[in-house]
């Protein structure tokens, strides 16, 4: 699959009638596991990637290491890969463009880029640079962090600010909008109604089901860093149990060694 065909296939998966379901991966093994489960695409989680490489999340991991991970994941799976590139691993739009160009060369079909505390006008410039570097096909998912970080006044004002940012980011070249931090059906419905592009939300325990979110207009759901968090929680529970009681129940439901090894050999 060429990068262009992968990007086109990935974009076509964004459909509220059957929302794209992304159990985000953070290394080759987790990407292979997600693909083997039947996923039509793999998306990375920037937090999980950073943690696995010994770095905190939040634009601390260097561009080269982030892109190298994308390259290895793309080479390891046969489905389109969307790369979470945090804020773009660049201090300015030119830096973001350099990152995106490198991610495209690595074979990614899409990117996820977040605004966080940045000024929306500055973020729009970064997204425009990303689009220029990406070309017309790459799926650019613009993350709006108003709900995740509690930016602005709650209620209608926060919704309005989210929609304003979404409009600006789409005008700058984004393909879709990612609004983590809320799965409230009333809010999600208003977001889907007000954003003329595929809407992505972050899901987890307690969130509406994928089908319920699709009925509200959501085209893409992501587990984000929660899968990596759950994996590391097993490591902590296992270590604590072993050291405290000398027992091993925390690792009872792990993947079989042979199954995981076969998956990495490529013969599973």
- pLDDT, mean of residues 164-184: 98
Task: Quote the tokens at residue 153.
Answer: 């006044």
| pLDDT tens digits, 32-61 | 999 999 999 999 999 999 999 999 998 899
> Rounded to 5 degrees, what angle do the CA atoms 107, 111, 29 make?
65
Domain range annotation of the chain: 3-225
pLDDT-derived band of residue 266, with 50, 70 and 90 as boundaries?
Answer: confident
The whole-number pLDDT of residue 3 equals 76
Domain 3-225 has CATH 3.20.20.60: yes
Residue spans of beta strands (DSSP E) within 124-246: 139-143, 176-178, 199-202, 220-222
89: number of Cβ within 10 Å: 24
- Are 41 and 16 in contact, with CB atoms under 8 Å apart? no
Buried b (16+ CB within 10 A) or exposed e, 44-75: bbbbbbbbbeeeebebebebeebbebbbebbe
Candidate from 11-25, 146-160, 185-199, 213-227 with smallest mean pLDDT: 146-160
Task: Quote the tokens at residue 247.
Answer: 């027992």
The whole-number pLDDT of residue 268 equals 53
| pLDDT tens digits, 121-138 | 999 999 999 999 999 999
Share of residues in the chain with pLDDT > 70 (%): 99
Q: What φ, ψ does residue 15 adopt, rounded to 5°?
A: -150, 115
| pLDDT tens digits, 194-253 | 999 999 999 999 999 999 999 999 999 999 999 999 999 999 999 999 999 999 999 999
This prediction has a pTM of: 0.94
Look at residue 103 and tell me whether its pLDDT is greater than 80: yes
Q: What φ, ψ does residue 129 adopt, rounded to 5°?
A: -65, -40
């Amino acid at each position: 699959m060429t990068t262009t065909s992968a990007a086109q296939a990935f974009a076509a998966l964004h459909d509220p009638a059957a929302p794209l379901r992304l159990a985000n991966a953070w290394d080759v093994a987790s990407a292979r596991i997600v693909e083997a489960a039947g996923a039509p695409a793999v998306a990375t989680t920037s937090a999980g990637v950073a943690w696995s490489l010994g770095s905190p999340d939040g634009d601390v991991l260097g561009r080269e290491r982030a892109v190298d991970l994308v390259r290895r994941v793309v080479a390891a799976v046969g489905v389109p890969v969307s790369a979470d590139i945090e804020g773009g691993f660049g201090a300015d739009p030119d830096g973001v463009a350099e990152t995106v160009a490198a991610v495209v060369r690595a074979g990614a079909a899409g990117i996820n880029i977040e605004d966080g505390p940045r000024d929306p006008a500055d973020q729009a410039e970064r997204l425009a640079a990303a689009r220029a570097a990406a070309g017309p096909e790459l799926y650019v998912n613009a993350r709006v962090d108003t709900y995740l970080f509690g930016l602005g006044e709650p209620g209608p004002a926060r919704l309005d600010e989210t929609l304003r940012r979404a409009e600006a980011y789409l005008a700058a070249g984004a393909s879709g909008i990612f609004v983590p931090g809320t799965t409230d059906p009333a809010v999600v419905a208003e977001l889907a109604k007000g954003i003329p592009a595929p809407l992505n939300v972050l899901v987890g325990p307690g969130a509406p089901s994928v089908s319920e979110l699709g009925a509200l207009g959501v085209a893409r759901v992501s587990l984000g860093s929660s899968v990596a968090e759950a994996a590391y929680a097993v490591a902590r529970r296992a270590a604590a149990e072993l050291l405290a009681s000398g027992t091993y129940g925390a690792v009872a439901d792990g993947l079989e060694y042979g199954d995981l090894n076969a998956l990495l050999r490529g013969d599973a």
